[in-house]
Amino acid sequence: LHSLETMNNSRISTVTQFVLLGFPGPWKMQVILFLMILLVYILTLTGNMAIICAVRWDHRLHTPMYMLLANFSFLEIWYVTCTVPNMLVNFLSKTKTISFSGCFTQFYFFFSLGTTECFFLCVMACDRYLAICRPLHYPSIMTGQLCATLVSLCWLIGFLGYSIPIFFISQLPFCGPNIIDHFLCDVDPLMALSCAPKPIIQYVFYSMSSLIIILTIMYILGSYTLVLRAVLQVPSSSGWQKAFSTCGSHLVVVSLFYGTIMVMYVSPTSGNSVAMHKIITLIYSVVTPVLNPFIYSLRNRDMQFAALKKVLKIK
């Protein structure tokens, strides 16, 4: 009877909105942060749109590698858009509130798009492995149809994977307080606000995240181990330079992305401060997407030429 009464009280007092504290501070600091994140957001949209347009307009770039890169840029645009606009609004808002449904919608898209990015990086590593280790068979293996199938699978698995766990987390009782000391709806602060005992879905969520991250990074490292072994067998230095130029940008992106998410969702982070959690999340959710276009374009002559001639219209 007592447990039933407690459940009824929990349902009655369930919160309808959350407060995202973000980066608290004086008004002047909030304005400065707003302008900085807005600039980063604009650069992210511009850079990734430039890659998409370059691949779309330049027929020389209608190859699997660049088609994957264009889809990856499209993914990055949505990845930052699911969190940054709300963050910008909160910088200039006094209430800093987000509705219950809005919070879990952001939570779902943030993890689904992040998971999709993990699988995209795997497919891009596979593409580089085939191009370098199986150059004669590459055109017959990595066809346009296979490339489209792999892209579709990345989106499908990414968006289906977290749908059930996040649904069950949203059904937990949240009795208050409703203050999230973060700039987005992440799993740790949400689970801390639930008034239910630690449910099994929490362990399922963490296990699932760790499994996806570890398996995908192992696949990527395995692919590039085979690539490195093949490259070391090439006698000419020009072959080395060509191989590393095609793989170097992807390895830099993988290092930036996985280096931060592994700290958050694989290694124990209970000893880290809340401020450190925010900084780490900011790096892989906001900073990395703005660096990706520069990393890929600066290390790729074809992309530089296409971006200059087709996007900026420079003869």
For 156-210, write each residue's pLDDT tens digit: 999 998 999 999 998 888 887 889 999 999 888 888 888 877 778 888 888 898 8
Please tell me the predicted confidence (pLDDT) of residue 310. 55
Specify the CATH number for the domain of residue 110. Answer: 1.20.1070.10
For 68-126, write each residue's pLDDT tens digit: 989 999 999 999 999 999 999 999 988 899 999 999 999 999 999 999 999 999 999 89
8 Å CB contact between 153 and 188:
no
Number of domains present in the structure of the chain: 1
Domain that holds residue 51: 26-169+180-191+198-311
Q: Where are the beta strands (DSSP E) in 10-144?
A: 17-20, 97-99
DSSP H or E segment with residue 138: helix 138-141
Beta strand 179-180 with 17-20: parallel, antiparallel or unpaired?
Answer: parallel
Rounded to the nearest angstrom, the gap between the alpha carbon of residue 186 and the centroid of all alpha carbons in its chain is 13
Structure tokens at 164: 């059930």
- For residue 235, being part of any structural domain is answered with yes
For 269-293, write each residue's pLDDT tens digit: 555 578 888 888 898 889 889 888 8
SS3 labels along 25-69: CCHHHHHHHHHHHHHHHHHHHHHHHHHHHHHHHCHHHCCHHHHHH
Strand partners, 180: 20
